[in-house]
Amino acid sequence: MSQFEEAKYLEIYITIEDYIDKVHYQKIFCPECKIAPIHIVRKQKIPPYFASNRKEEHHQDCQHYEEFIPNKNLVRLINSNQIEDQKRLEFLIRSNLKASLRLLLGNEKGNNFNTNFLENNSSTNTEKKGNTDRYKKESIPRVHIKNLRKKEELLDNHIIIYGKAELEIKNHERTNKQTKEKFTVKQLIFRREGKFVFSISLSGYKANNLSQENGNISFAVFGELKKNSSFLNIKSHTLRICRFVSDFRS
């Protein structure tokens, strides 16, 4: 059973503190897919929380529709040299990134997935049509960018961050200490309402292949959430950006 810190009520999101039986009873829904009914659970000795009933009530793209894959299993796949493990990882990342973007853009017109894909490895492209059904679908924990600062318990976990952000790309010149060769690190800074939320640093192949410009974006990124002094960053594994400028409000 999934637990939720917030619930969707009409057009707004409420927290446990906002909840009033007379107003919200049977009228609150999953904050991510907005279709699964959720309810308040009150037990002795633990603070009340929101919970949903059955997984099947969520939208198929909602992270709460499938079982979650434990972080240690993801790490095992990432570190594995086995082709079969790499294919499975590729499938999980792609299917979860796509689902995030569908949820994000699903209600909007002109849903044109004009995406930039950045893979960890230039030669890996294991997604083949008709080949993906044999993998069990599992959810990678996913956080909307607006909630990221509240989710510090996810530090050092592999997660997906998705949402709409203002992207700024900064180029930093660096020198390799041993070879003295110069190289460029691209720092992608994700902001909301002008405030820094997190960043991604790319170098080498990934930096060279980034054909993204500054501006408002819809995005989903998979990687390991890290903290450097007080700044959150993602050790990027796979990044997917949809440029979506026509409607940028929420």
What are the residues binding Zn ion (CB under 5 A)? 30, 32-33, 36, 58, 62, 64
Residue number with CB closer to Zn ion (36 or 165): 36
List the one residue out of 246, 242, 147 whose CA is nearest residue 192. 147
Question: DSSP per residue over 158-181, as a string?
Answer: EEEEEEEEEEEEEEEEEE-TTT--
Residue number with CB closer to Zn ion (220 or 232): 220
**Shortest distance, position 65 Cβ to Zn ion, whole Å:** 7
Residue number with CB closer to Zn ion (62 or 241): 62
**Shortest distance, position 103 Cβ to Zn ion, whole Å:** 9
Q: Which amino acid is at 123?
A: S
**Shortest distance, position 155 Cβ to Zn ion, whole Å:** 24
List the one residue out of 217, 190, 198 whose CA is nearest residue 154. 198
**Shortest distance, position 33 Cβ to Zn ion, whole Å:** 3
Residue number with CB closer to Zn ion (64 or 158): 64
Residue number with CB closer to Zn ion (7 or 241): 7
Other CB atoms within 10 Å distance of the CB of residue 12? 9
**Shortest distance, position 64 Cβ to Zn ion, whole Å:** 5
Cα separation values, 72 from 76, 78, 138, 142, 228, Å: 6, 10, 14, 16, 22
List the one residue out of 170, 148, 122 whose CA is nearest residue 221. 148
